[in-house]
Structure 1
C-alpha cells in the first residue's frame, strides 16, 4: 500500500535537546526546522502538507532519487514497515510545490538544523585537544550546476560553506548575476556564528573585502594568493623564505608520489602586510609530484592568514590549506557522481538549487550518522528504506 506523506513525516520526531553549553539551534531537529518554511499555496485544495513534501524529498534522495519522478516513485513505494498508508504526492505535486517554495527560507531552515548538529559534534572533541586544533574551519567555494538554466541562459551557480572537520555543507547561496565573488559575504552572513572561525578560500576570493568580512564578526581567514593579487604575490615571493622555519610531508597513493614543503613567515612590518588587510603571516607551499616514471612536476603556492603564531602552528596551517580542497571530493564530487547532479534534468527556476539543497541534506544526514562512504550509504538506504527513518532520528 502506498505511503502517506503526512503519516511518514509525523513519525519523525525532532531530535532531543543535547545537554551542554550549545546554541539554542542545537535542540532543533530537521522536522521542526522545516516548520519555519512558509507554504506558498492557498489553503483550499491542499492535499499534502508542505512539511510532508519537504521531508519526503530528502529521504528519496538518500535512496538515490535524482528527479521529481524518482522522488514520487520512492514516496509511493515506501513500505508498510514505516507504519504508514494512503496516497503519496505525485511527481507533478513535487515539481509544482518545490518549484514554488521560498528557496531562501528552505536554505535558512536547513542551515539552522545543520549548524545545530555541527555544534553538537564540536562539543564532543577529545579531552586535551588544543584550542587551535579544535578551531572551526570553514571552506567557501563555488559550484556550477551544469544542467540548469538561470536568467540569461547561464547555468545556476552556487557558493557553499563547508565544515572541514565534520564534512558538512552548512549553507549555500545562489550567485547573483554569475558573480561568485559577490556571493562570498552572502554565504557567510547566513551562518549564526563566526567568532574564532577560520575561513579558507581559493585565490578567486583573495579580496580585500573578503578579508574584512570575517573580522567584523570575530573570525579569521586563510586565502591562497595568485595572479589576481599581483603586487601581494610579488611581495610574498620576495620574502626571506630560505631562513623561514617549516615542515615537510611526503605521501604516496594512486600511482603517484608527492612531497610538500611548508614554510611560514610573520608579516609584521613588511610591505606585504600593508597590501592586504589583517594579514599576519605568509605561507609558502612547494609541491613536488611524480606520477609513475614521468618527470616530477613542481608547484609553488602562496597564502596569507590573519592568524598569528598563537592561532596556529605551521602544521595546522598546512592541514587547513590541504583540507580546503576536501570540499571538492567530499561535497562537489559526491553531488556530481554519486548523486548524478550533472545529469539532472531539473533545469528552471529555483528547482536546481532546491535539488542541490536536498542532496546536501542527504549527505549531511549520512555524515552525521557515521557514514564515510556516501555511495555505500545510498545503497543501504535503497535496499532498506527503514534505514532512512532511523538515520533521520539519529541525525
Structure 2
C-alpha cells in the first residue's frame, strides 16, 4: 500500500481509528478490536494500519504506524486522541486538533485567540446543502510569540482556530470553535484545506468500509480473523480505486463480481501501481 501512494506537495495523511464492532469475542469477553489507519486524503488510499485492543492504546499504536510509513514532505493530521508530545516527535509536520477536555493546552490556545474572536468576521465561506446553511472561517497565529507556553511541543509553528456555524430548519443554530496546533507554517487557506481534508478518513474510508463492504456487520472474530479481513477490505478498496473506469465503489464491486475480465482489470490496476 505504501508503494501505491505517491507523496505530493501539500499532501495530507490523516491518522484515525475505527472500531470493528463485530469483533467482540463472546467466549472470553475480550474488547472489540480498534484499527488505527493512515489514509492519504488526496489520493484516497490506505497507506497502512495497526491493530490495538483498547481505544486508549491508540497513543502507543500511532508511533508504530508512523514508523511503517514514508511521510517525508507530507502533513500528518491526527484527532484529539493522538495529541501527545511523544507522537509529535516522530512527525516532521503535524497538525493536531484539540478538545476542550485536554486541559491546559486547549485553554492556552483558546486564550491566544481571545482577541480574534471579538473582531468582525472576515473570509467566511458559506455552504447551502441538504436543507441547512453552514458557514466556516479559519484563523492562524504564529506560535513564536507564545514560545514559553508551548515549549514542550517540538518545532511548533502555527496555532489555528476554526469556527463553524450551522443553521438547520427546525433546529437551534449551532456555533462551534475548534483549535489546532501544527509544526508547519500554515496560512488560513492551508489550515482550512487541511482541516476539511482530514474528514476524508471518515467519509472516504470508514463510511465506505461500513456501507459498501459491510464491515460493521461482519461477525468474524476468532483468532486473527477480524484483523485479517479488515486488511483485505482495505487492500480491495485501494485496488478498486486504482482501476480508472468511472463508477461508485458498489458499482465496481458488482461489476467485478459479474465479469471476470473486469475483476482481472481491478487486480491488474492494483498490482501495477505497486510494481511502479
TM-score surpassing 0.5? yes
Q: Given the alignment of the two structures, is residue 154 of structure 1 paired with residue 31 of structure 2, yes or no?
A: yes
SS in 2 for 1:250: strand
Aligned residue number for residue 59 of structure 2 = 181
1:365 deviation in Å? Answer: 0.8
Q: Which residue, 233, 239, 249 being the options, matches 2:125?
A: 249
Distance in 1, matches of 2:208 and 2:268, equals 23
Aligned residue number for residue 137 of structure 2 = 261
| CA deviation vs aligned residue, 1:201-220 (integer Å, no higher than 9, x gap) | 11111111111111xxxx21
1:260-339 to structure 2, matched below 5 A, reads: 260-270=136-146, 271-308=148-185, 312-339=186-213
Aligned residue number for residue 141 of structure 1 = 16
1:276 deviation in Å? Answer: 2.9
1:149, 1:348 within 8 Å by CA — same for their partners in 2? no
Aligned residue number for residue 340 of structure 1 = 214
Aligned residue number for residue 213 of structure 1 = 90
Distance in 2, matches of 1:307 and 1:160, equals 22
1:1-395 to structure 2, matched below 5 A, reads: 114-119=1-6, 134-149=9-24, 153-175=30-52, 177-178=54-55, 179-191=57-69, 193-214=70-91, 219-239=92-112, 240-241=115-116, 242=118, 247-270=123-146, 271-308=148-185, 312-370=186-244, 373-395=248-270
Aligned-pair Cα RMSD in Å:
2.1
Instruction: Note closer, same or farther for the CA distance 1:321–1:272 as it changes in structure 2 (3 Å cut).
Output: farther
Instruction: Note closer, same or farther for the CA distance 1:247–1:272 as it changes in structure 2 (3 Å cut).
Output: farther
Q: TM-score, normalised by structure 1?
A: 0.62
Distance in 2, matches of 1:369 and 1:143, equals 25
Distance in 2, matches of 1:244 and 1:318, equals 19
Distance in 2, matches of 1:269 and 1:287, equals 26
Distance in 1, matches of 2:155 and 2:81, equals 18
Distance in 1, matches of 2:4 and 2:189, equals 28
Instruction: Note closer, same or farther for the CA distance 1:278–1:176 as it changes in structure 2 (3 Å cut).
Output: farther
1:366 deviation in Å? Answer: 1.4
Structure 1's unaligned 5+ residue stretches are: 1-113, 124-133
2:39, 2:47 within 8 Å by CA — same for their partners in 1? yes
Instruction: Note closer, same or farther for the CA distance 1:285–1:177 as it changes in structure 2 (3 Å cut).
Output: closer
Instruction: Note closer, same or farther for the CA distance 1:243–1:273 as it changes in structure 2 (3 Å cut).
Output: farther
Distance in 2, matches of 1:372 and 1:324, equals 24
Structure 2's unaligned 5+ residue stretches are: 271-276
Aligned length, in residue pairs: 262
1:232, 1:276 within 8 Å by CA — same for their partners in 2? no
1:167, 1:330 within 8 Å by CA — same for their partners in 2? yes
Instruction: Compare CA radii of gyration and give the structure with the larger one.
Output: 1
SS in 2 for 1:173: strand
1:269 deviation in Å? Answer: 2.9
Aligned residue number for residue 274 of structure 2 = none
SS in 2 for 1:294: coil
| CA deviation vs aligned residue, 1:261-306 (integer Å, no higher than 9, x gap) | 1011101031443253322111111100111242211111000000
| CA deviation vs aligned residue, 1:90-128 (integer Å, no higher than 9, x gap) | xxxxxxxxxxxxxxxxxxxxxxxx222212xx57xxxxx
Structure ranking higher in strand proportion: 2
